[in-house]
Amino acid sequence: MYEFNLAGLLPYTGPLPRAIVLTLWLSTLSILLSVAVGVLGALCRTSTSLILRWIGGAYVEVLRNIPLLVVIYLIFFGLAQVGLRVDGFNSALIALTLNAGAYMTEIFRGGLTAIPRGQYEAARSQGMTGYQLYRYVVFPQVFRIIYAPLGNLMIGIVIGSSLASVIGVEEVTTWMRRAGDETFRYMESFLAVGVIYVVLAQTINIGRIVTGRWLLSRAPIGHRR
């Protein structure tokens, strides 16, 4: 008879901390890089240049319509076939970044298009350079708009990082399969990892909320209310 026994996993918890760190590291890097891709992508998609708009649009449409798993295979196995070897971690990082970058682009674009023209005109009429205009007027407003959708996407990245297990990255899902195979305690390992993902995703989410509050509370200039 099957008997639930979480303690049966105990002998295999040794590599777990490393696996958790790797999942967190992969997710955090993917989030940071995809934010950068998203900002660039959104600036392209809202650019006055037709070519940039086209490139941004094509990127989003292509990457949104290919499953993340397929992108991971393409980079890990596909590129290897044409002689470009990328290791497992970096393949997963690139794939997650490209995939999430497409969604980031759409989130940032939504934020950018929500800023009325008058804001740009007011800032320009005060002599702001392009950098100053985005830094002090546009992005702070965009940030408030995208703050919530960004949270969903960040959690999606943490969860998506589990697909790195298919190319042998030693992260949490890989640990789960191995621990299950070795102990036959599949149910226990699945449940344990399920809980671990909830905690990791919420850790990143709380990180977002704390950073967000901190950014929002900072006055752009010397004084506060």
Partner 1 sequence: MSTDPSSPVLRIEGLVKRYGPHLVIDGVDLDVAAGQVVVFVGPSGTGKSTLLRCVNGLEDIQGGRILFEGQPVLSRSSAIHAVRRRIGMIFQGFNLYPHLTALQNVTLAPVKVLGEPAKDVEERARGLFRKVRLEHRAHAFPSQLSGGEQQRVAIARALAMNPHLLMFDEPTSALDPETVGDVLAVMEDLAREGRTMLVVTHEIGFARHVGDRMIFMDGGKIVEDRPPEEMIASPENPRTRQFLGSILHH
Please report whether residue 90 would count as binding partner 1 according to CB under 8 A: no
Region binding partner 1 by CB under 8 A among candidate stretches 29-37, 42-50, 121-129, 193-201: 121-129
CB-count exposure of residue 145 (10 Å: 0-12, 13-18, 19+): middle
CA distance 152 to 147: 9
DSSP H or E segment with residue 201: helix 186-217
Please report whether residue 122 would count as binding partner 1 according to CB under 8 A: yes
Total residues in contact with partner 1, by rule CB under 8 A: 24
Q: What is the DSSP letter of 46?
A: T
User: Angle CA(155)–CA(74)–CA(89) in degrees, nearest 5?
Assistant: 55
CA distance 160 to 179: 20
Closest CB 94 distance from partner 1, rounded Å: 35
Region binding partner 1 by CB under 8 A among candidate stretches 36-44, 46-54, 106-114, 132-140: 132-140
Please report whether residue 119 would count as binding partner 1 according to CB under 8 A: yes
Region binding partner 1 by CB under 8 A among candidate stretches 3-11, 48-56, 120-128, 153-161: 120-128
Binding site for partner 1 (CB under 8 A): 116, 118-119, 121-129, 132, 136-137, 140-141, 144, 219-223, 225
